[in-house]
């Protein structure tokens, strides 16, 4: 069966002017991400992983080259529309709304996208939270009263509520201990296996990379495959 491409970077270049000098971070980077697969991106600190995710999530524009979602240039889709309807991103520091409780954080996702919000938003939010291991008593607590692992689960539930097929993570397990990190990674795997989402996680952990379908390395401004498990 032919693999379906969901997201593609085509000849992407990006550089910074640093003290009057040009520093190339990404140079002619091309890579096609398939539907429903779990990818990790490794690379030393400063190699440009967060820069790459900033471009992939339309927070910044490449100097040259194009980024395509379902074969369409994301600039043509429109950055705001793309961010709202096509993708979700999860950070090391959760980025939840602190003064809301867990279920309100998840529910707020339904209002972000252009899709019509379902009528049973609150119930559905509890259901999604429970599917990532957050029971109702925890979901009703202000998120800054939850542990790091629990907050990251709420962040994942929020991304799930958005109902998009592309999920990015910038070191989403970076602040968690090994056991909690493993549980969170299991969740990401489930998102790709059971929900068919394409997951692209930046990580510093070889263990996390080893558990992904395809581990990539950002090296000299390009993405290289380290292994494929097929």
Distance of closest approach, residue 219 Cβ to Mg ion, in angstroms: 15
Distances (CA, A) of 74 to 25, 55, 137: 21, 10, 40
Of 50 and 75, which has the nearer Cβ to Mg ion? Answer: 50
Of 66 and 205, which has the nearer Cβ to ligand ATP? Answer: 205
Helix (H) or strand (E) holding 33: strand 21-34
Of 91 and 110, which has the nearer Cβ to Mg ion? Answer: 91
Of 45 and 137, which has the nearer Cβ to ligand ATP? Answer: 45
Both tokens assigned to 74: 């994301």
Q: Which does 181 bind (CB under 5 to 8 A by kind): ligand ATP, Mg ion, none?
A: none
Residues whose CB falls within 8 Å of the CB of residue 20, separated by 6 or more in sequence, listed in order:
none
Of 48 and 172, which has the nearer Cβ to ligand ATP? Answer: 48
For 39, counting Cβ atoms within 10 Å of its Cβ (0-12 exposed, 13-18 middle, 19+ buried), the class is buried
Return the range that interacts with Mg ion (CB under 5 A); candidates 43-51, 75-83, 130-138, 189-197. Answer: 43-51
Asked if residue 75 binds Mg ion (CB under 5 A), the reply is: no
Summarize as ranges the residues that interact with ligand ATP (CB under 6 A).
16, 18, 25, 43, 45-51
Distance of closest approach, residue 51 Cβ to ligand ATP, in angstroms: 3
Both tokens assigned to 72: 């369409």
Distance CA 122, CA 100 (A): 14
Distance CA 91, CA 14 (A): 22
Distance of closest approach, residue 196 Cβ to Mg ion, in angstroms: 27
- Identify which of 161, 160, 156 has the alpha carbon closest to the alpha carbon of residue 172: 156
Distance CA 58, CA 54 (A): 6
Distance of closest approach, residue 83 Cβ to ligand ATP, in angstroms: 19
Of 53 and 67, which has the nearer Cβ to Mg ion? Answer: 53
- The residues facing 175 across adjacent strands are none
Taking CB under 5 A as the criterion, the residue among 50, 92, 182, 205 binding Mg ion is 50
* Torsion sign (Cα): 41, 45, 51, 57: positive
Return the range that interacts with Mg ion (CB under 5 A); candidates 44-52, 55-63, 127-135, 193-201. Answer: 44-52
Distance of closest approach, residue 41 Cβ to ligand ATP, in angstroms: 9
For 189, counting Cβ atoms within 10 Å of its Cβ (0-12 exposed, 13-18 middle, 19+ buried), the class is middle
Distance of closest approach, residue 204 Cβ to ligand ATP, in angstroms: 6
Q: Which does 195 bind (CB under 5 to 8 A by kind): Mg ion, ligand ATP, none?
A: none
* Residues binding Mg ion (CB under 5 A): 50
């Amino acid at each position: 069966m032919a693999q379906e491409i969901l997201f593609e970077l085509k000849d992407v270049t990006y550089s910074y002017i640093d003290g009057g000098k040009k520093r190339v971070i990404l140079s002619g980077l091309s890579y096609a991400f398939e539907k429903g697969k779990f990818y990790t991106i490794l690379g030393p600190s400063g190699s440009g992983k967060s820069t790459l995710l900033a471009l992939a999530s339309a927070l910044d524009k490449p100097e040259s080259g194009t980024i395509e979602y379902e074969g369409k240039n994301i600039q043509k889709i429109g950055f705001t529309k793309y961010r709202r309807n096509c993708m979700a991103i999860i950070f090391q520091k959760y980025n939840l709304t602190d003064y809301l409780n867990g279920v309100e954080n998840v529910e707020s996702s339904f209002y972000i996208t252009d899709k019509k919000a379902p009528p049973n938003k609150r119930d559905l939010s509890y259901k999604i939270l429970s599917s990532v291991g957050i029971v109702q008593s925890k979901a009703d607590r202000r998120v800054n009263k939850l542990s790091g692992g629990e907050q990251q689960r709420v962040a994942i539930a929020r991304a799930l509520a958005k109902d998009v097929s592309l999920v990015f993570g910038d070191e989403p397990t970076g602040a968690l201990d090994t056991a909690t990190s493993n549980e969170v990674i299991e969740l990401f795997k489930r998102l790709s296996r059971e929900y068919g989402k394409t997951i692209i996680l930046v990580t510093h952990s070889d263990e996390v990379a080893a558990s992904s379908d395809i581990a990539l390395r950002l090296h000299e401004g390009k993405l290289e495959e380290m292994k494929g498990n097929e």
